[in-house]
Amino acid sequence: MDFKKYLTLQFYRLRYKYQEWKLRFSQFYNELDLKGREKLTIMVIPHTERKSVNFVISYKAITIFLGIVIILMFLSAVNVLSHSGSVHELTELNLSNIDFQRQSVKLKDEVSSLHSTVNYYYDRISTLYIKLGGDPSKVSKGIGGSSPRISEFSPEIEKPNDITLETYRIKEDIHNLKLSRELSEEIITMIKKRKSIIKHTPSIWPTRGYVMFPYGKFISPITGREEFNQGVDIASFPGSEVVVTAPGLVYDIGYSQSTGYYVKVAHKYGWKTIYSNLDRVKIKKNDKISKGDIIGYIGKTSDNPIYHLHYEVHVGTQTLNPFSFLNQIQE
């Protein structure tokens, strides 16, 4: 059997089935129609002398009525179930709202506590920054600094709600934390720089002894006249060690009748120190020396027979009182 005949056979089979089902449906419909045309008589007989009342109703009308009733009951059930679901959802939403309010109150308290902590930290950092000589204009950029807070706004302006207030506080805290970080980095840089300055500042006693003649005006025991002492004269035992008071470079070594041997040391940041009235010198010119290194030993001169060290501190061309630095600066 070829393919064309096979298709033709299948077509006739399907056509036969269609005609068969069509005939069955037609018979079923006719039976229903005949059944629906049958009528049901309902007779109402009163117990009085009134006439009886007859109601004639077809089965088709009864079927339609029952169908409408079933449909209405189905729709009512769906409506009731939908309403119950809505009530359940509303209950859940109400519970969620209560939980949200509790969480909001807790979050508000935490934000308030964090806000206080950040403000405390920012105030301390900014105060330290200003004390170290920082730029006050950088500190005033903080929202919590010179800028007005929400509570300081004009009363005519509508007060913000809680969400707006908390949002403002969080933004303020973020801004102040960023600024605090910048100030902290600058403070670290300042401290490192100051530490370097302190390290290279003459800050220890060059020898052991006592101050015989302080810095400034004094009556010279040799001339008997008032003179100006540009350093301090520290009396000590003969041959006592003399140490350099800060790291630096020896730029001059010499000898004179009035000062004996002297050593001049240059330090960073313009500092210079001079050590004179030495009996011997232990270092050489252009030597790099560290704080505490021995540079010579105490001696005396023909002009001044007392064993002592004459010690001077210079910044540029200006002399300073060395006593202000002796053990007054700590690293």
What CATH number is given to the structural domain containing 300?
2.70.70.10
User: Are residues 229 and 153 located together in one domain of the fold?
Assistant: no
Whether 301 has a pLDDT exceeding 70, the answer reads yes
String of b and e for 78-94 (b: at least 16 CB within 10 Å)?
Answer: eeeeeeeeeeeeeeeee
For residues 258 and 312, membership in a common domain is answered with yes
pLDDT of residue 310: 94
Q: What is the DSSP letter of 299?
A: B
Domain endpoint, select from 147, 165, 199? 199
Same domain membership, residue 229 and residue 291: yes
298 falls in which pLDDT band (50, 70, 90)? very high
Please give the residue that has the higher pLDDT: either 289 or 111.
Answer: 289
- 259 against 294, higher pLDDT: 294
- Range scoring the smallest mean pLDDT among 38-52, 71-85, 110-124, 267-281: 38-52
216 and 188 together in one domain: no
Q: Computed from CA positions of residues 180, 182, 187, 188, in that sequence, does the dihedral angle turn out positive or negative? A: positive
**Are 133 and 180 within one domain?**
yes
* pLDDT more than 90, % of the chain: 24
Closest among 235, 228, 201, 244 to 310, alpha carbons compared: 235
Which pLDDT value is given to residue 147? Answer: 41
User: Rounded mean pLDDT of 69-93?
Assistant: 87
When the pLDDT of each residue in the chain is averaged and rounded to a whole number, the result is 82
Question: Based on the domain organization, do 224 and 305 belong to the same domain?
Answer: yes
Whether 124 and 173 map to the same domain: the answer is yes
Displacement of CA 284 from its chain's centroid (Å)? 55
Instruction: Look up residue 199 and give its two tokens.
Output: 């390290």
Query: What does the pLDDT read at residue 232?
Result: 93
pLDDT of 94 reads 85
DSSP per-residue letters across 126-172: HHHHHHTT--HHHHTTSTTTTSPPGGGS-TTSPPP-HHHHHHHHHHH
pLDDT the model gives residue 327: 65
Of 199, 220, 236, the domain-final residue:
199
* One-letter identity of residue 298: I
Contact, 301 vs 257, CB < 8 A?
Answer: yes
The answer as to whether 102 is a domain residue is no
The verdict on residue 144 lying in a domain is yes
Of 179, 199, 219, the domain-final residue: 199
Per-residue pLDDT tens for 114-152?
A: 888 888 888 888 888 888 778 888 776 555 444 434 444
| Domain-located, residue 98 | no
In a domain, 189, yes or no: yes
Q: Which long-range contacts (CB under 8 A, 24 or more apart) does 196-201 make?
A: 196/268, 197/268, 197/269, 198/329, 198/330, 198/331, 199/246, 199/247, 199/291, 199/331, 200/246, 200/247, 200/248, 200/267, 200/268, 200/269, 200/271, 201/246, 201/267, 201/269, 201/271, 201/325, 201/329
Q: Are residues 195 and 227 in the same domain?
A: no
Query: Coil, helix or strand for 273?
Result: strand
User: Does 153 score more than 80 pLDDT?
Assistant: no
- Same domain? 128 vs 187: yes
Strand partners, 44: 53
Three-class secondary structure assignment of 56-97 = EEEHHHHHHHHHHHHHHHHHHHHHHHHHHHHHHHHHHHHHHH
| 227 lies in the same domain as 318 | yes
Render pLDDT for 166-205 as a digit per residue (tens, 0 to 9): 788 888 888 888 888 888 888 888 887 777 778 888 888 9
What is the domain count for the chain?
2
- Report, in this order, helix, strand and coil percent for the chain, each rounded to 5: 50, 25, 30
20 within some domain: no
Structure tokens at 265: 């040391």
Q: What is the largest CA-CA distance in the chain?
A: 170
Contact 59, 40 (CB under 8 A): yes
Specify if 72 maps to a domain: no
Domain, as residue range, for 177: 117-199
Listed ranges 75-79, 119-123, 249-253, 320-324; the one with the highest mean pLDDT:
249-253
Q: How far apart are CA 253 and CA 265, in angstroms?
A: 9
Has residue 205 been placed in a domain? Answer: no
What are the backbone angles phi and psi of residue 185, rounded to the nearest 5°? -65, -40
Average pLDDT, integer, range 305-312: 91
Asked whether the predicted pLDDT for residue 240 surpasses 60, the reply is yes
Q: Say if residue 158's pLDDT is above 50.
A: no
219 in any annotated domain: yes
pLDDT value at residue 180? 87
Same-domain pairing of 144 and 175: yes
Q: Does position 234 have pLDDT exceeding 90, yes or no? A: yes
The pTM of this model reads 0.48
For residues 160 and 180, membership in a common domain is answered with yes
Higher-scoring residue by pLDDT: 238, 218: 238
Q: Label residue 260 exposed, middle or buried (CB < 10 Å: 0-12, 13-18, 19+).
A: buried
At residue 33, does pLDDT exceed 60?
Answer: yes
Whole-number pLDDT of residue 140: 66
- Percent of the chain's residues with pLDDT above 70: 91
Residue 45 has pLDDT above 90, yes or no: no
Burial, 160: exposed, middle or buried (Cβ in 10 Å; 0-12, 13-18, 19+)?
Answer: middle
| Closest to 233 (Cα-Cα) out of 176, 311, 177, 316 | 311
As a whole number, mean pLDDT of residues 257-262 equals 88
Mean pLDDT of the 29-51 span? 76
